[in-house]
Amino acid sequence: MSPNLAMRALFAIALAAALCIAAPARAQDEDSGEPVGEPLPGKALTDRDFGVVSRQFGLDRRVEMYQWRRSAGTAPGDSGYQRIWNSAPIDSSGFAPGHVNPTRMPLENKRWWSESATLDDKPIDSEVLRALGEWKLFRPNFSRLPANLAATFQPEGDGLGSSENPLAPQIGDLRVTWRELRLPALESQLELREGAWQLKPEAAAAALNAAPARAGAAVLGEPPADERWSWGWLIAGVAAAAAALMWLRGRRKRSA
């Protein structure tokens, strides 16, 4: 066999051996019930009233109305009142004259959850979204705002407002903002049960007691032990093949 063919054969054998060692470890990772891919939210969520679209795991609409509120410690009949933004109607039936609030919210607060979220092509249980999801404020594209609402609302901050002068709102004015639900890193949080990704018992307990369980940044950035070993063997095999290639080249030069 010529030196070139011998070198190529040795390299191929070393690489194949490394891959054979790495493959079972990788397969063991994939069969262990731990997620290996990124979660996908599935079908887009839409607030049809405003034409707002989110491609995340949840969509939340928050409506606030500018209203009168009796100041803390103020007795009925006193004149201590302040104007605030509030997401629910404030009963003003016992307030002094000139401090009347609308009796209801013209628009409702609403929330939509993804029903088609997947991870590694398997569905994610809705409880995972509710326990681990994080609401993040976002500013939608209002290009689909219906004409009737466009006549009432204008862009204000990260959302919409009905005030003619946003710096001087009036009682009964509205402002609307939206949030999207995003999922954090899911390592060590989920397991496959009955064909769907569900919370591990310890993650569910942590979500009930306080904030969802979070792994440390150093741990999250470090691959699992089996994966480190599998890639380590692959690199070692390639390095061995490279060393053999250099040895054969040196031998060829000496023989020439």
| pLDDT tens digits, 155-205 | 999 999 999 999 999 999 999 999 999 999 898 999 999 999 999 999 889
Does residue 57 form part of some domain? yes
Does residue 11 form part of some domain? no
pTM (predicted TM-score): 0.66
With 0-12 / 13-18 / 19 or more C-beta atoms within 10 angstroms meaning exposed / middle / buried, residue 43 is exposed
Does residue 245 form part of some domain? no
As beta bridge partners, residue 199 has: 190
| 240, containing H or E segment | helix 225-255
Does residue 143 form part of some domain? yes
Does residue 18 form part of some domain? no
231 vs 197 pLDDT, higher one: 197
- Once rounded to an integer, what is the mean pLDDT over residues 225-239? 41
Does residue 110 form part of some domain? yes
- Once rounded to an integer, what is the mean pLDDT over residues 211-238? 39
Number of domains in the chain: 1
Question: Residue 207's pLDDT is what?
Answer: 83
What is the domain extent for residue 130?
43-185
- Once rounded to an integer, what is the mean pLDDT over residues 11-21? 46
pLDDT band for position 48 (50/70/90)?
Answer: very high
CA gap 56, 35 in Å, rounded: 19
For the four alpha carbons of 36, 113, 213 and 204, in that order, the dihedral sign comes to negative
Length of the chain, in residues:
256
Kindly report which listed range (78-82, 112-116, 127-131, 143-147) carries the lowest average pLDDT score: 78-82
Structure token digits, residue 21: 């060692």
Does residue 214 form part of some domain? no
Q: How far, CA to CA in Å, does 20 sit from each of 17, 230, 241?
A: 5, 10, 15
5 vs 61 pLDDT, higher one: 61
Q: Is the pLDDT of residue 65 over 80?
A: yes
CA gap 86, 88 in Å, rounded: 6
Question: Residue 254's pLDDT is what?
Answer: 58
- Once rounded to an integer, what is the mean pLDDT over residues 224-252? 48
- Once rounded to an integer, what is the mean pLDDT over residues 232-240? 45
Kindly report which listed range (29-33, 98-102, 213-217) carries the lowest average pLDDT score: 213-217
Question: Residue 105's pLDDT is what?
Answer: 96
pLDDT band for position 71 (50/70/90)?
Answer: confident
Question: Residue 1's pLDDT is what?
Answer: 53
